[in-house]
Amino acid sequence: MKRVPKPVFFIVALLILAFSFTAIFGVSYYTGDNKNTVLKGIGDIRWGIDIRGGVEATFKPANNYDATDEQLESAKSIIELRMISQGITDYELYADRNSDRIIVRFPWKSDETEFNAVNAIEEISSTANLTFRPGKSYESTDVGSDGEYIYKTPTGDTATVLMDGSAVENAEAQYYQDDSGKAQYVVSLTLNEEGAKTFEEITTTYLNQTVSIWMDDIMLSAPTVQATITDGKAQISGSFTAKEATELAQKINAGALPFQLETANYGNISATLGENALTAMAYAAVVAFILIALIMIIFYRLPGFIAIIALIGQMGLTVAAVSGYFPAFPSFTMTLPGIAGMILSIGMGVDCNVITAERIKEELRGGRTLDGALDKGSKSSLSAIIDGNMTVVIVSIILMLVFGPSNILSFIFGESTTGTIYAFGYTLLVGVISNFIMGIFFSRLMLRSIAGIKPLRKNWLFGGAKNEK
Amino acid sequence: MKNDVQTKTDVKMTEQEISEKFNRGRKIIDFVGSKKIYFCVSLGIMLIGIICNFIFGTTLDIQFSGGATLTFSYTSDEEHPIDQNALHDFIQEKTTDKITTSFSEDLMGNTGKNVSVQFSGNDSIETDIQKNLEKDLQTEYPDNNFITLEANSVDASMGFSFLLKCLAAVALASVLMVLYVTIRFKKIGGLSAGVMALVALFHDVAMIYFLYVIFQMPIDSNFIAVVLMILGYSLNDTIVIYDRVREEKKLIGRRADVGTVFNVATTKTLKRTIMTSVTTLTAILTVYVLATIFNISSVKGFALPMMIGVVSGCYSSICIAGPLWVMWQNRKAKKKAAK
């Protein structure tokens, strides 16, 4: 058997514990009353509606407009699309055809302690009607938060609409450097065939005049037409930030609502699982962990002890992948099925250690030497663990692809996500990968290393019979 | 079942001999021999489930069936507090429909607190039920100003097309999984192993479904979570046993009786199966106990089927997938011999 140096055990164990500690509890410091989060922990996880609650809003058509069932349905799917493009995957959305209501529930956004529900709701329910209008007459102005003027409500000539968002095939945020080298963000539009024709007519009629572009009631930009445009490409520039340009493009892509919505009522909803669900789960996690640790150590002794360290590492990694500990993985919305995925992956982590430990025990009792048993036990248990985990990986990937934003079956079933199932797939996948790293790689490394420590080289400690040396 | 007799005559070794030869004298449990009992137990439970299904029907949560939502506003202060769980139970007693409640705080500043009661499957709440409920609430909580705010009837947010999508996802995952098993377990008749693993999975889903039906729990998103978890768990269980079958077959030799190989493999992995199930059950039981202490019925309704699922997942791998696989292999061998 290839020996692993003794200090490896201590180094690996310490690293795992340190990592998991920071991943679970997070690292933050306070400057005055402000909390500065260095590393995100469990406390920074974005919880789904079922666990933490969120926002519920009821929309109705404005001005007592009587929407048809089709219009209501299309409004519902546009709202759905908007939520998906905002990264909200676990929403509940209902349409009430009898009273023309759309009811939506979605969780709190991540990173926000004080959730701005009003903004989120406005974002989701805005009509998003993109219009091209002649001239640039407006009724009123507002001062935006960045000190710039916002021109509102078209009047006069500008009240006529030349072309609207339905002519747009695709909108995309783009970036270029202007003459002075400053970064500029624009939204470039590709028009559909009909739109290209209309746009050609518009740019011919209004050559050297101003045509303004509006989003609902707000003027985005008012360029002067300098040439007739025939290729169906248009651009909206309006001193956007990168985020604004992306959001605007998303909004245009999601399409305009068939009618204007107003908010009939909205409010915070408490966790649908009940008030104390999170507290109860937290206690359950701690108690269950202690129980599992006891079982593992009593039955498997030293390998059991190492399994516990590996399990802590696995939990740490899984939590880290959910909370946004690694900047590359944004924080993820955790729902009850997400927790189920975690439980399953931890169960598989336990299983992987149990399989190995049982195998070592079996080999020891079959009369092998300690080194021989460790070697044979690790080797022959590997295929079971890999096959078991791989099949589960297949399932979790399919679930993520089908129910998550990538939505590989959308050509059959239309755009929709089911965040709860997506969350399950995600935590399961991450958990199983963590299991490969911790339960298979590191726990075996630690086991081999610790087997080199003299006072611990007793068969009994590895599951052999007690009277053996 | 004819080839069943055949198998038995093939086994010339006695139990004693098998255990001496393959397990250092320790007993090998004859799982394959008792398969009729297992099949009967499983089919029996399914039968009870189907009967219950006819009698009670299935209760679907509003997300799946659509239904009506009644929203009441109320006030609650320190002198007249409202316990959300108690309020839920109170409303549930007043109706035969399965309800879910959600509590919210109004942000438009009109009404204070709201509770919306969702009646699943019943999309037109008659006005008298609505009026009665309002009256009942006002009598029960005289100081909390219960007023009906809104009544909506809604379509299922996870309706028929969601069901189809789920089935498509299951089909896709099944195909890939069987493919993986077929390739990896070629030595033990890959396709048969894959298909039987799938049968075991369907067995577990059926068990959980019938559990929901028999105890009349509404099928909600928790159900999906439980089913998904048990699928993963059962799959892993089956694969671990297959792996040992693959290994034992290599040790015992090609010509060995398939049933014996399976029995040996399963007996040898039995300790692992029990230990893993016990630790998993311990964890879920803890969740269940704490949910009981905190009185969170939704989490309880999630942990209980999960415990049953773990047992079923473990049982189906050993007692359903295995014996079925053995039957398939024997049948194949017989066909070959006939040629």
Average pLDDT for residues B52-64, to the nearest whole number? 81
Q: How crowded is the C-beta side of A454, counted as CA atoms within 13 Å?
A: 0
Angle at A440 between CA A435 and CA A446, to 5 degrees: 120
What DSSP string describes B248-298? HHHHH-TTS-HHHHHHHHHHHHHHHHHHHHHHHHHHHHHHHHHHHHTT-HH
Local confidence band at B46 (pLDDT 50, 70, 90 cut-offs)? very high
Task: Look over chain A and give the mean of its residue pLDDT values, rounded to a whole number.
Answer: 82
Q: Is A214 exposed, middle or buried (0-12, 13-18, 19+ CB in 10 A)?
A: buried
Name every residue whose Cβ is closer than 8 Å to that of residue B96 and which is 6 or more positions away in sequence.
Answer: none
Coil, strand or helix: which one is A227? Answer: coil
Residues of chain A found within 8 Å of residue B65, distances taken between Cβ atoms: none
Tell me: pLDDT of B44 over 90.
yes
Q: Most B CBs within 10 Å: which of A395, A402, A409, A430, as the mutation test of the B interface?
A: A395
What pLDDT sits at residue A469? 44
Residues A50 and A272: their CA atoms lie apart, in Å, by 5
Residues A385 and B218: their CA atoms lie apart, in Å, by 36
**Beta-sheet strands, E only, within A195-292:** 211-215, 218-221, 233-240, 261-269
CB of B267 within 8 A of CB of B173? no
What would the pLDDT profile of A282-334 be if each residue is shown by its tens digit? 888 889 999 999 999 999 889 999 999 999 999 999 988 888 787 767 667 78
Higher pLDDT, B16 or A364: A364
- Percent of chain B residues past pLDDT 90, beyond the cut: 25
CB of A128 within 8 A of CB of A255? yes
Name every residue whose Cβ is closer than 8 Å to that of residue B51 and which is 6 or more positions away in sequence.
Answer: none
Tell me: pLDDT of A193 over 80.
yes
Residues of chain A found within 8 Å of residue B268, distances taken between Cβ atoms: 362
The minimal CB distance from A275 to the residues B84, B105, B106 is found for B84
Is B275's CB within 8 Å of A299's CB?
A: yes
Residues A311 and B199: their CA atoms lie apart, in Å, by 31
Residues A463 and A302: their CA atoms lie apart, in Å, by 8
What would the pLDDT profile of B139-150 be if each residue is shown by its tens digit? 888 888 888 877
Query: Which residues pair with residue B60 across a beta bridge?
Result: B219
Helix (H) or strand (E) holding B203: helix B190-214
CB of B123 within 8 A of CB of B81? no
What pLDDT sits at residue B5? 43
Helix (H) or strand (E) holding A208: none
Residues A318 and A447: their CA atoms lie apart, in Å, by 22
> Cβ of B86 under 8 Å from any chain A Cβ?
no
Segment among A116-125, A167-176, B116-125 with least mean pLDDT: B116-125
What would the pLDDT profile of A21-80 be if each residue is shown by its tens digit? 888 888 878 777 677 777 877 777 778 887 877 888 888 888 888 888 888 888 888 888
Coil, strand or helix: which one is A144? Answer: coil
- Residue linked to tokens 């970036």: A175
> Cβ of B149 under 8 Å from any chain A Cβ?
yes
Domains by residue range for chain B, with CATH: 2-59+159-338 (1.20.1640.10), 67-154 (3.30.70.3220)
Angle at B157 between CA B217 and CA B216, to 5 degrees: 10
CB of B112 within 8 A of CB of B73? yes
Tell which B residues from 277 to 336 touch A, by Cβ distance under 8 Å.
Answer: 278-280, 282-284, 286-287, 289-291, 293-299, 302, 306
Rg (alpha carbons) of chain B, rounded to whole number: 26
Name every residue whose Cβ is closer than 8 Å to that of residue B140 and which is 6 or more positions away in sequence.
Answer: B90
- Residue linked to tokens 């880290």: A320
Region class of B274: left (phi > 0), else alpha (psi between -120 and 50), else beta: alpha
Residues B339 and B333: their CA atoms lie apart, in Å, by 10
What would the pLDDT profile of B310-324 be if each residue is shown by its tens digit? 999 999 999 999 999
Q: Which CATH number fits domain A54-127+257-269: 3.30.365.10, 3.30.70.3400, 2.60.40.420, 3.30.70.920?
A: 3.30.70.3400
Higher pLDDT, B254 or A387: A387
Q: What residue spans in chain A does CATH classification 3.30.1360.200 cover?
A: 129-256
What would the pLDDT profile of A8-24 be if each residue is shown by its tens digit? 888 889 999 998 888 88
Query: Nearest-CA distance from A287 to chain B in Å?
Result: 7
Amino acid, single-letter form, for residue A191: L
Q: What residue spans in chain A does CATH classification 3.30.70.3400 cover?
A: 54-127+257-269
What pLDDT sits at residue A252? 81
Residues A300 and A302: their CA atoms lie apart, in Å, by 6
Residue A239, both tokens: 């001193």
CB of A233 within 8 A of CB of A195? no
Residues of chain A found within 8 Å of residue B107, distances taken between Cβ atoms: 117-118, 266-268
Q: Is B153 exposed, middle or buried (0-12, 13-18, 19+ CB in 10 A)?
A: buried
Higher pLDDT, A45 or B181: B181
Q: What is the DSSP letter of A224?
A: B
What would the pLDDT profile of B106-138 be if each residue is shown by its tens digit? 666 555 778 878 777 655 556 667 778 888 888
> Cβ of B239 under 8 Å from any chain A Cβ?
yes
Amino acid, single-letter form, for residue B179: L
Q: What residue spans in chain A does CATH classification 1.20.1640.10 cover?
A: 7-42+274-462
Q: Which CATH number fits domain A129-256: 3.40.50.2000, 3.40.630.30, 3.40.50.300, 3.30.1360.200?
A: 3.30.1360.200
The minimal CB distance from B85 to the residues A274, A281, A409 is found for A274
Tell me: pLDDT of A407 over 80.
no
Helix (H) or strand (E) holding B26: none
Residues of chain A found within 8 Å of residue B269, distances taken between Cβ atoms: 358
Amino acid, single-letter form, for residue A96: D
Query: Which residues pair with residue B334 across a beta bridge?
Result: none
Helix %, strand %, coil % for chain B, to 5? 70, 10, 20
Average pLDDT for residues A190-198, to the nearest whole number? 88
Local confidence band at B13 (pLDDT 50, 70, 90 cut-offs)? low
Residues B109 and A109: their CA atoms lie apart, in Å, by 22
Residues B46 and B40: their CA atoms lie apart, in Å, by 10
Residue of B nearest to A118 (CA): B107
Residues B71 and B189: their CA atoms lie apart, in Å, by 58
CATH superfamily for A7-42+274-462 is Multidrug efflux transporter AcrB transmembrane domain (1.20.1640.10)
Q: Most B CBs within 10 Å: which of A101, A334, A391, as the mutation test of the B interface?
A: A391
Residues B270 and A457: their CA atoms lie apart, in Å, by 27
Tell me how far apart the terminal alpha carbons of chain A are, to the nearest angstrom.
20
Residues A283 and A276: their CA atoms lie apart, in Å, by 11
Amino acid, single-letter form, for residue A390: M
Average pLDDT for residues B219-247, to the nearest whole number? 86
Tell me: pLDDT of B267 over 60.
yes
Coil, strand or helix: which one is A422? Answer: helix
What would the pLDDT profile of A338-379 be if each residue is shown by its tens digit? 888 888 888 889 999 999 998 888 888 888 888 888 888 888
CB of A423 within 8 A of CB of B221? no
Residues of chain B found within 8 Å of residue A272, distances taken between Cβ atoms: 100, 102, 298
The pair phi, psi for residue A132, each rounded to 5°, is -110, 125
Residues of chain A found within 8 Å of residue B296, distances taken between Cβ atoms: 273-274, 276-277, 280
Query: What is the pTM for the complete model shown?
Result: 0.77
Q: Most B CBs within 10 Å: which of A50, A315, A387, as the mutation test of the B interface?
A: A387
Residues of chain A found within 8 Å of residue B176, distances taken between Cβ atoms: 394, 398
Q: What is the DSSP letter of A452?
A: T
Query: Nearest-CA distance from A278 to chain B in Å?
Result: 10
Tell me: pLDDT of B6 over 50.
no
Residue B24, both tokens: 């250092």
Residue A285, both tokens: 């996690």
Q: How crowded is the C-beta side of A423, counted as CA atoms within 13 Å?
A: 34
Q: Which has the closest alpha carbon to B231: A392, A424, A383, A389?
A: A392
Give this complex's ipTM: 0.80
Residue B325, both tokens: 């696989």
What would the pLDDT profile of B274-308 be if each residue is shown by its tens digit? 999 999 999 899 989 988 888 777 788 888 999 99
Burial code (b: 16+ CB inside 10 Å, e: under 16) for A64-86 equals eeebeeebbbbbbbbbbbbbbbb
Is A366's CB within 8 Å of B221's CB?
A: no
> Cβ of B16 under 8 Å from any chain A Cβ?
no
Residues A19 and A215: their CA atoms lie apart, in Å, by 48
The minimal CB distance from A340 to the residues B104, B228, B275 is found for B228
Q: What is the DSSP letter of A64?
A: G
Average pLDDT for residues B191-203, to the nearest whole number? 91
What pLDDT sits at residue B107? 66
Higher pLDDT, B88 or A33: B88
Q: What is the DSSP letter of B29?
A: P
Average pLDDT for residues B189-196, to the nearest whole number? 88
Residue A266, both tokens: 């909205």
Average pLDDT for residues B20-44, to the nearest whole number? 83
Q: Most B CBs within 10 Å: which of A72, A76, A94, as the mutation test of the B interface?
A: A94
What pLDDT sits at residue A131? 86
Local confidence band at A114 (pLDDT 50, 70, 90 cut-offs)? low
Residues of chain A found within 8 Å of residue B147, distances taken between Cβ atoms: none
Region class of B183: left (phi > 0), else alpha (psi between -120 and 50), else beta: alpha
Is A94's CB within 8 Å of B280's CB?
A: no
Other Cβ atoms within 10 Å of B98 Cβ, number:
22
Residues of chain B found within 8 Å of residue A116, distances taken between Cβ atoms: none
What would the pLDDT profile of A227-274 be if each residue is shown by its tens digit? 888 888 888 887 778 877 887 888 788 777 888 888 887 777 777 776
Name every residue whose Cβ is closer than 8 Å to that of residue B217 and which is 6 or more positions away in sequence.
Answer: B59, B211, B301, B305
Helix (H) or strand (E) holding A175: strand A168-177
